């Protein structure tokens, strides 16, 4: 390299932002600079984001290297790995490393990242107290998990929760200590945070909220963490994840202007000419970013500036985050916290664990929080970034692209309008052009193939919908079949393939299915665990033991959890018909347990709202009524009208028919909730034509309607058939529901299922009496195995224990 006219460029910091800028520069001006890189870590440049995946068993250390040793050689870059730069002499334009190496520069880039903030607690220097920032920390955690049991993570932000998930995977008993009353308050509102906490608790994580750490207990090594309220928790390992601080010491000691970070202008120039700063150590317009997407944007601008390519300056970034914890979908972007002058819209489905909030100001989308269904995250984020006017489309944005297809179409047209170098995958810095190349030139035909080829969607997965959109755009019809994905990120198998394999190999447990079918994540996630639990129970009603841990909170506690953490009790009232003595009993129990509200439900039942978890078993015992199953994926209610006994228009006894159906079908496990109704004449007062199975009396018989839905996506039923007798109604109802049980995907309502498979296919399957008889036999067998869950809990001490309040913090003994 000696003797060339190249300018000398030195990069301090061999991390994500700095090396990314160099990669760009090499493309724009490959011959312009003689490049030297100093990196304090003894590794080539690696993807720090993926450390969470390494810890959680989703990747190994080799896989996360972005540029291996050869890349530096191939690009004539002199790398000093394991060298920390300790001095910048800006007068003579040279830097000095801690190992005595001096290198002069014409252009200097500072990209030293951040330091994890370590709480200055007494005892914080003990063995076993670490941060989570680099490969070394990751290795210490993996090593500790082999020797020790109890891990405590301080900080319930993104990093803390990802660390905690990884430690759980490593078999440790993990408690997260958070200073705030709810998790991830920098990204989520309280509702989303509570849902997140419930899901993580289900995975085995424990939480100590609103707790202030006081000191680290132990001799040489940590043995406990003590709090300011005097309590303490045992710990063999303490991981601090309480935020980061830009690494500014070197700049400060060299006379470069710093504030929180190294102050830079729109061209990433510091206060000293020829010295630039990018990444987490830089502060631009008052912001020091802590996510890679903005740092990559900075890198692109700096590379153009240094490569002599005309560019507008860096104007700052809107950021979005996605928690990388398998089985939990959480997304947050922009101003989620509703600033003054904004308004927000929310949607919550407690049964399916979905929560969505969008924040609007001046007809523009400025923030979003998604929990449980983050599919629209990338689309909403792009609208926030582009400042699009969204007036009139609020409902569509909140409820998702499926409504009317408008959002999906506009998202596809947005993809078309993007330039080739726009970043699609922020985590891995993959541009639209790179994905186009993977599909067109390299022949990738599925998101999985694009992931292997480009790394797009390999980290947080937030860009997956955009990658799918581009695949559709570039591969057209050819992508159709291949775009088809597995039931969740843990497998590439579809529902039908999984069910067929379970049958063929007679698999009997969730673990076995995951193992035999090569699940990517051996513990599964919140999507596949309950699906497998359902499919196994549906296929082997007699042999399969329901796995309670694979059900959602509501189904585990047999009551609906409410916004404030209390529960609701809905006893079964067949056909909505009750009696004075039953009403008295309900009133007495409601009074005795101070139930704050008693309400009639839309399905004609009585709902006792605001019940404490620990009171549930005693209330069920005293009510001595069956569970109304108002919480599960099962038969909810059979709504009835007055019918021919009292109503002058009635042609049939709708009440008797409704009660019969409810008694025959109660407790049935179904792919999604199922609602029935019976009306005594075509006036249809029981609204049977928006139910999953609706029965409407006509002169001399009954019309049977299917596939209705009165919820978010209202859908009227379609007529299945007309029958004459009550026995026939019962037979068709059983056969229809069993066919639905055996063919729908888990969590698919009858309305969506019928729309997917078509009414004609259902009619064909049920038209022959012998086929209906076989289905009826199977549903009877499934029903014969069910028991009333409330009675079971009331009678079994071991089950009752689950309702006692949790005791997590040990009181101080010394």
Ligand X SMILES: NC(=O)c1ccc[n+]([C@@H]2O[C@H](COP(=O)([O-])OP(=O)(O)OC[C@H]3O[C@@H](n4cnc5c(N)ncnc54)[C@H](O)[C@@H]3O)[C@@H](O)[C@H]2O)c1
Ligand Y SMILES: Cc1cc2nc3c(=O)[nH]c(=O)nc-3n(C[C@H](O)[C@H](O)[C@H](O)COP(=O)(O)OP(=O)(O)OC[C@H]3O[C@@H](n4cnc5c(N)ncnc54)[C@H](O)[C@@H]3O)c2cc1C
Told to check if 134 binds ligand X by CB under 6 A, we report no
DSSP state of 24: H
The answer to whether the CB of 333 falls within 8 A of the CB of 377 is yes
Told to check if 107 binds ligand FES by CB under 6 A, we report no
Stretch in the footprint of ligand X (CB under 6 A) among 81-89, 143-151, 322-330, 501-509: 322-330
Told to check if 450 binds ligand FES by CB under 6 A, we report no
Told to check if 759 binds ligand SF4 by CB under 6 A, we report no
Told to check if 729 binds ligand SF4 by CB under 6 A, we report no
Q: Residue 244: which of ligand X, ligand Y, ligand FES, none does it interact with, CB under 5 to 8 A by kind?
A: ligand X
DSSP state of 811: P
The number of beta carbons lying within 10 Å of the beta carbon of residue 504 is 8
Q: Would you tell me the crossing angle of helices 495-505 and 528-539 to the nearest 10 degrees? A: 50
Residue 383's φ and ψ, nearest 5 degrees, are -70, -40
* Out of 21, 22, 35, 51, the residue judged to bind ligand Y by CB under 6 A: 51
Told to check if 689 binds ligand SF4 by CB under 6 A, we report no
The minimum distance between CB 320 and ligand X, in angstroms, equals 9
User: 112 vs 697, which CB is nearer to ligand Y?
Assistant: 112
**Strands across the sheet with 213-218, in order?**
213-218, 222-227, 232-234
Told to check if 133 binds ligand Y by CB under 6 A, we report yes
The minimum distance between CB 373 and ligand FES, in angstroms, equals 17
* Out of 18, 218, 290, 789, the residue judged to bind ligand X by CB under 6 A: 290
The minimum distance between CB 574 and ligand Y, in angstroms, equals 51
CA dist., res. 638 & res. 654, Å (int) = 10
Told to check if 119 binds ligand X by CB under 6 A, we report yes
Told to check if 427 binds ligand FES by CB under 6 A, we report yes
User: 156 vs 575, which CB is nearer to ligand X?
Assistant: 156
**Residue 107: its H or E element:** strand 107-110
Q: Residue 323: which of ligand X, ligand Y, ligand FES, none does it interact with, CB under 5 to 8 A by kind?
A: ligand X
The answer to whether the CB of 157 falls within 8 A of the CB of 116 is no
The minimum distance between CB 294 and ligand Y, in angstroms, equals 8
The minimum distance between CB 295 and ligand X, in angstroms, equals 11
User: 137 vs 501, which CB is nearer to ligand Y?
Assistant: 137
Nearest to 650 by CA among 696, 603, 618: 696
User: 25 vs 458, which CB is nearer to ligand FES?
Assistant: 458
The answer to whether the CB of 217 falls within 8 A of the CB of 123 is yes
**E strands of 623-726, at which residues?**
635-640, 674-679, 693-698, 701-706, 718-723
Residue 721's φ and ψ, nearest 5 degrees, are -170, 175
Binding mask 457-486 for ligand FES (x = CB under 6 A): xxxxxxx-----------------------
* Out of 10, 15, 24, 432, the residue judged to bind ligand Y by CB under 6 A: 15
The minimum distance between CB 13 and ligand Y, in angstroms, equals 3
The answer to whether the CB of 687 falls within 8 A of the CB of 710 is yes
Q: Residue 723: which of ligand SF4, ligand FES, ligand X, none does it interact with, CB under 5 to 8 A by kind?
A: none
The answer to whether the CB of 626 falls within 8 A of the CB of 786 is no
Told to check if 242 binds ligand X by CB under 6 A, we report yes
Q: Six-digit token pair at 310? A: 């005309």
Told to check if 395 binds ligand SF4 by CB under 6 A, we report no
The minimum distance between CB 120 and ligand X, in angstroms, equals 10
Told to check if 323 binds ligand X by CB under 6 A, we report yes
Stretch in the footprint of ligand X (CB under 6 A) among 320-328, 346-354, 521-529, 657-665: 320-328
Positions in 406-425 near ligand FES (CB under 6 A): 425
Q: Which residue is nearest to ligand SF4 (CB)?
A: 680
Give the dihedral sign, CA 402/403/409/415. negative
Q: Six-digit token pair at 775? A: 């289905």
Positions in 163-182 near ligand X (CB under 6 A): 177-180
Residues 6+ apart with CB under 8 A from 510: 524, 529, 532, 533, 536, 547, 550
3-state secondary structure of 559: coil
DSSP state of 291: S
Positions in 611-650 near ligand SF4 (CB under 6 A): 641-643, 647, 649-650
**E strands of 699-794, at which residues?**
701-706, 718-723
* Out of 326, 428, 684, 750, the residue judged to bind ligand SF4 by CB under 6 A: 684
Nearest to 234 by CA among 304, 320, 173: 173
* Out of 44, 279, 372, 680, the residue judged to bind ligand SF4 by CB under 6 A: 680
Stretch in the footprint of ligand X (CB under 6 A) among 150-158, 440-448, 555-563, 693-701: 150-158
Q: Residue 301: which of ligand SF4, ligand Y, ligand X, none does it interact with, CB under 5 to 8 A by kind?
A: none
**Strands across the sheet with 597-600, in order?**
560-561, 567-569, 606-611, 597-600
Taking CA atoms, 698 is separated from 530, 654, 681, in Å, by 40, 11, 6
Told to check if 38 binds ligand Y by CB under 6 A, we report yes
The minimum distance between CB 134 and ligand X, in angstroms, equals 12
The minimum distance between CB 114 and ligand X, in angstroms, equals 7
Q: Is 405 exposed, middle or buried (0-12, 13-18, 19+ CB in 10 A)?
A: exposed
Q: Residue 681: which of ligand SF4, ligand X, ligand FES, none does it interact with, CB under 5 to 8 A by kind?
A: ligand SF4
3-state secondary structure of 547: coil
Residues 6+ apart with CB under 8 A from 325: 56, 161, 162, 165, 200
The minimum distance between CB 734 and ligand X, in angstroms, equals 47
Strand-pair partners of 284 = 264, 287
Binding mask 436-475 for ligand Y (x = CB under 6 A): -----------------------xx---------------
Q: Residue 680: which of ligand X, ligand SF4, ligand Y, none does it interact with, CB under 5 to 8 A by kind?
A: ligand SF4
Q: Which residue is nearest to ligand Y (CB)?
A: 15
First to last CA, the chain: 67
CA dist., res. 653 & res. 758, Å (int) = 31
Positions in 303-362 near ligand Y (CB under 6 A): 324
* Out of 8, 9, 10, 12, the residue judged to bind ligand Y by CB under 6 A: 12
The minimum distance between CB 466 and ligand X, in angstroms, equals 17
The answer to whether the CB of 238 falls within 8 A of the CB of 130 is yes
CA dist., res. 695 & res. 2, Å (int) = 88
**Residue 361: its H or E element:** strand 354-361
Told to check if 17 binds ligand Y by CB under 6 A, we report yes
Positions in 618-657 near ligand Y (CB under 6 A): none
The answer to whether the CB of 193 falls within 8 A of the CB of 182 is yes
3-state secondary structure of 605: coil
* Out of 11, 129, 196, 241, the residue judged to bind ligand X by CB under 6 A: 241
Residue 604's φ and ψ, nearest 5 degrees, are 65, 35
User: 332 vs 669, which CB is nearer to ligand X?
Assistant: 332
Q: Is 420 exposed, middle or buried (0-12, 13-18, 19+ CB in 10 A)?
A: exposed
Residues 6+ apart with CB under 8 A from 56: 162, 165, 166, 169, 324, 325, 326
Contact residues toward ligand FES (CB under 6 A) are 425-428, 456-463
Interface residue list for ligand Y (CB under 6 A)? 12-18, 38-41, 48-49, 51-52, 84-85, 111-113, 132-133, 159, 162, 247, 250, 279-280, 290-293, 295, 324, 427, 459-460
Residues that bind ligand SF4 (CB under 6 A): 641-643, 647, 649-650, 654, 679-681, 683-685
| Contact footprint for ligand X (CB under 6 A) | 119, 154-160, 162, 177-180, 185-186, 213, 241-244, 290-291, 321-324, 460
């Amino acid at each position: 390299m000696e003797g060339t006219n190249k300018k000398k460029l030195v990069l301090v910091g061999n991390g994500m932002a700095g090396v990314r800028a160099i990669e760009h520069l090499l493309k724009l001006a490959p011959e312009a600079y003689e490049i030297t890189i100093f990196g304090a870590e003894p590794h080539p440049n690696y993807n720090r984001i993926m450390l969470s995946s390494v810890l959680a068993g989703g990747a190994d250390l080799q896989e996360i290297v972005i540029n291996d040793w050869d890349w530096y050689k191939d690009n004539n870059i002199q790398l000093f790995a394991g060298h920390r730069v300790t001095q910048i002499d800006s007068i003579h334009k040279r830097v000095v490393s801690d190992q005595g190496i001096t290198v002069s520069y014409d252009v200097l880039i500072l990209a030293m990242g951040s330091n994890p903030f370590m709480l200055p607690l007494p005892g914080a220097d003990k063995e076993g107290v670490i941060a989570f920032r680099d490969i070394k920390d990751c290795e210490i955690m993996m090593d500790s998990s082999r020797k020790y049991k109890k891990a405590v993570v301080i900080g319930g932000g993104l990093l803390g929760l990802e660390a905690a998930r990884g430690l759980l995977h490593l078999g440790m008993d993990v408690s997260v200590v958070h200073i705030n009353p709810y998790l991830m308050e920098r990204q989520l509102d309280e509702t989303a945070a509570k849902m997140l906490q419930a899901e993580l608790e289900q995975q085995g994580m424990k939480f100590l909220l609103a707790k202030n750490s006081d000191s680290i207990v132990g001799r040489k090594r940590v043995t406990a963490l003590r709090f300011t309220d005097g309590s303490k928790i045992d710990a063999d390992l303490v991981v601090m994840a309480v935020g980061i601080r830009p690494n500014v010491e070197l700049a400060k000691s060299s006379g470069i202007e710093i504030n929180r970070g190294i102050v830079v202008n729109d061209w990433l120039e510091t206060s000293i000419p020829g010295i630039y700063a990018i990444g987490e150590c830089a502060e631009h317009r008052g912001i020091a970013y802590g996510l890679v997407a903005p740092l990559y944007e900075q890198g692109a601008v700096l590379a153009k500036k240094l490569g002599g390519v005309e560019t507008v300056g860096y104007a700052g970034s809107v950021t979005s985050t996605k928690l990388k914890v398998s089985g939990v979908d959480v997304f947050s972007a922009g101003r989620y916290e509703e600033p003054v002058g904004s308004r927000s819209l929310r949607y919550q489905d407690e049964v399916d664990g979905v929560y969505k909030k969008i924040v609007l100001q001046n007809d523009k989308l400025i923030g979003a929080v998604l929990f449980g269904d983050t599919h629209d995250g990338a689309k909403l984020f792009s609208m926030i970034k582009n400042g699009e006017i969204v007036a009139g489309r609020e409902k569509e944005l909140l409820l998702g692209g499926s409504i009317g297809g408008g959002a999906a179409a506009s998202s596809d047209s947005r993809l078309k309008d993007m330039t080739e170098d726009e970043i699609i995958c922020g985590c891995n810095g993959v541009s639209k052009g790179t994905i186009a190349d993977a599909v067109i030139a390299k022949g990738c035909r599925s998101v999985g193939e694009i992931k292997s080829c480009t790394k797009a969607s390999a980290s947080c997965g937030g860009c997956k919908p955009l990658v799918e959109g581009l695949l559709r755009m570039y591969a057209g019809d050819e992508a159709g079949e291949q775009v088809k994905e597995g039931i969740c990120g843990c497998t590439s198998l579809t529902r039908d393939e999984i069910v067929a394999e379970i049958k063929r190999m007679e698999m009997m447990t969730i673990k076995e299915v995951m193992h035999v079918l090569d699940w990517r994540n051996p513990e599964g996630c919140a999507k596949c665990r309950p699906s497998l639990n359902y499919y196994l129970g549906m296929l082997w009603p007699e042999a399969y033991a329901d796995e309670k841990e694979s059900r959602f909170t509501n189904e585990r506690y047999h009551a609906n959890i409410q916004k404030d953490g209390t529960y609701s009790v809905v006893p079964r009232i067949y056909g909505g018909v009750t009696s004075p003595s039953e009403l008295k009993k309900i009133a007495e129990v409601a009074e005795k347990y101070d139930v704050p509200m008693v309400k009639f439900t839309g399905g004609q039942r009585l709902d006792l709202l605001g019940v404490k978890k620990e009171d549930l078993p005693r209330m069920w015992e005293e009510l001595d009524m069956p569970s109304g199953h108002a919480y599960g994926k099962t038969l909810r209610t059979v709504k009835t009208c007055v019918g021919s006994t009292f109503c002058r228009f009635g042609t049939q006894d709708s009440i008797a028919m409704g009660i019969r159906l409810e008694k025959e079908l109660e407790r049935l496990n179904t792919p999604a909730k199922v609602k029935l109704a019976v009306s005594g004449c075509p006036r249809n007062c029981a609204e049977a034509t928006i139910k999953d199975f609706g029965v409407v009396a006509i002169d001399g018989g009954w019309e049977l309607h299917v596939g209705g839905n009165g919820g978010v996506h209202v859908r009227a039923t379609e007529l299945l058939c007309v029958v004459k007798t009550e026995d026939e109604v019962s037979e068709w109802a059983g056969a229809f529901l069993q066919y639905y049980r055996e063919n729908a995907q888990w969590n698919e309502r009858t309305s969506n299922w019928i729309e997917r498979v078509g009414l004609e296919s259902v009619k064909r399957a049920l038209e022959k009496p012998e086929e209906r008889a076989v289905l009826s036999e199977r549903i009877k067998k499934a029903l014969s195995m069910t028991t009333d869950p409330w009675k079971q809990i009331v009678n079994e001490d071991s089950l009752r224990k689950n309702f006692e309040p949790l005791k997590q913090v040990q009181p101080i003994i010394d």
